Amino acid sequence: MTFVRTVCLTASLALWGAGAASALDLEGVLREVAAANPTLAARRSMVEAARRRVAPAGAWQSPMLELGALNVPTSGRFDMDPMTMKMIGVSQRVPVFGANRLSRRSAGEALRAESAASELTHYEFFALAWQAYADAFYAGDLARQAEAHTAVMDRLVGSARARYESGNGRLEDALRAEAERARTLADLAAFRAEERSARARLDALRGVPPGAGGEELTPPPGTSTMWESPAWNEAVGSSHPRLRELDAQDSRYRFAARAARRMALPDLALTASYARRGRLEGGIAQDNMFNATVGLMLPIFAPQRELSEGAEMDAMARATESERRAAELDLLEQLRAGLASAAASHRTVGLLADTVVVTQQRAVEASWSAYSAGTTDLWRVFEATHTLYNEQIALTRARQDLAGTEARLLSITTRGDLLGVHLPEIKRSER
């Protein structure tokens, strides 16, 4: 009985004990993901590229500078004809109906959409890191539980062999104990492989080569029990980055449609020039001259193209509006499903941890006591120990499932505070 208590205590400490000084915690991992993940760095660069497109979108066309000589005789002399001049001029096209301003606002909305998409990607990668962290931690716990169970099986095998060799036991008991030990060793190999795979995923998300990080992992944070809180529904409101992205896309298309229609209207063309006239033959001085004109750029061949582009942008805006409604419904559906799954997993963990595993540990201790007193056979001890091992595995898997559900809720709601996790700050770049 003392041996069983020692084994159970060791497994419990391995499951919930404090890690080494270099141990990683979930919030530290999320900070590393935010700082070093290459995909997130790429998304931030895309936001910067969108910002750089805003100013050019509303810029006027470049002015045209002209230099030349006017009314020069074929002789090439500048002092024969009084209209011979050296000229400098500039012309500028001026949009007067606001097409450039609308184009700039459309580019600004594209920046908002890109910023919201980048923010959502950050939360999705935080959720992936949370899932990988939980998978790695609980796979390591499963491996430690398999190691502890192997130690118990070693003792059972030794006891079964001793009783069989003394003529007081059955060969069947010894063979079954050896088979259970072999099965546990197979479980151990599978759990270690699962742990390495999860650690590789976690390292890649952290921006380090897989296998480079060998730190111990601390237990994931405690789970929330406020699954019915109204704050969950508020988390998928209009401030959600997915919905903000689609709202910005909608506005972008509408501004682009208005800008396209404005481009079908005429623009002003302003031209100014200054001409310098030299002295005529004989030293006769002449006045210099200037010209100034105002014209209209008539888009005779453009209206059909611009109006078609405007109609296309309107159609894209309507499609985005419908997509936005569908995204909101999808978020609400995922939220309700995630909350229901989290509540069920939380309940399962509580029942397994507080009732099933505790009761089964007592059953194991009772079976060892009865075996030591000679009132039961070794097979009863084997069955109780095997059942406890299976229930411990079920408890760890339930905790792993709960952590995975919480990770999905993070990607759905982007609210780490509702899950008891402090997330790295994500800067919004909307101007």
Q: Report the pLDDT averaged over residues 120-142.
A: 95
The listed range with the strongest mean pLDDT (14-28, 141-155, 239-253) is 239-253
What pLDDT score does 3 carry? Answer: 43
Question: What type of residue sits at position 267?
Answer: D
Q: What is the pTM of this model?
A: 0.82
Q: What is the dihedral angle through the alpha carbons of 160, 161, 163, 164, rounded to the nearest 10 degrees?
A: 110
Cα–Cα distance measured from residue 366 to residue 364, given in angstroms and rounded to the nearest whole number: 5
Q: Where are the beta strands (DSSP E) in 184-306?
A: 267-276, 289-297
In sequence order, the β-bridge partners of residue 280 are 284
Cα–Cα distance measured from residue 137 to residue 218, given in angstroms and rounded to the nearest whole number: 8
What pLDDT score does 20 carry? Answer: 42
pLDDT at 4 over 60: no
Q: Confidence band (pLDDT; 50, 70, 90) for 335?
A: very high
Higher pLDDT, 168 or 420: 420
> Quick one: which of 185, 137, 197, 193 has its CA closest to 157?
185
Higher pLDDT, 70 or 176: 70
pLDDT at 17 over 60: no
By residue count, the chain amounts to 431
Least confident of 15-19, 63-67, 106-110, 322-326: 15-19
Q: Report the pLDDT averaged over residues 11-18.
A: 45
Q: Confidence band (pLDDT; 50, 70, 90) for 223?
A: low
Q: What residue segments make up the domains of the chain, in order of their start?
A: 2-60+99-264+303-419, 61-94+265-298
Q: Confidence band (pLDDT; 50, 70, 90) for 120?
A: very high
pLDDT at 15 over 50: no
CATH 3.20.20.70 fits 2-60+99-264+303-419, yes or no: no
What pLDDT score does 166 carry? Answer: 72
Average pLDDT of the chain is 85
The pairing of strands 289-297 and 267-276 is antiparallel
Q: Report the pLDDT averaged over residues 205-213.
A: 82
Q: Report the pLDDT averaged over residues 388-393.
A: 93
What pLDDT score does 232 carry? Answer: 87
pLDDT at 353 over 50: yes
Q: Confidence band (pLDDT; 50, 70, 90) for 72?
A: confident
Contact by Cβ (8 Å): 198, 135? yes
pLDDT at 211 over 80: no
What pLDDT score does 13 carry? Answer: 45
Residue 424 burial (CB < 10 Å; 0-12/13-18/19+)? Answer: middle
pLDDT at 2 over 50: no
Contact by Cβ (8 Å): 331, 337? no
pLDDT at 420 over 90: no
Cα–Cα distance measured from residue 392 to residue 11, given in angstroms and rounded to the nearest whole number: 10
> Quick one: which of 182, 178, 186, 189 has its CA closest to 382?
178
Q: Report the pLDDT averaged over residues 338-347.
A: 92
Taking phi first (over 0 means left), then psi (-120 to 50 degrees means alpha), and beta for anything else, what does residue 98 get?
A: left
pLDDT at 111 over 70: yes
Q: Confidence band (pLDDT; 50, 70, 90) for 410?
A: very high
What pLDDT score does 429 carry? Answer: 58
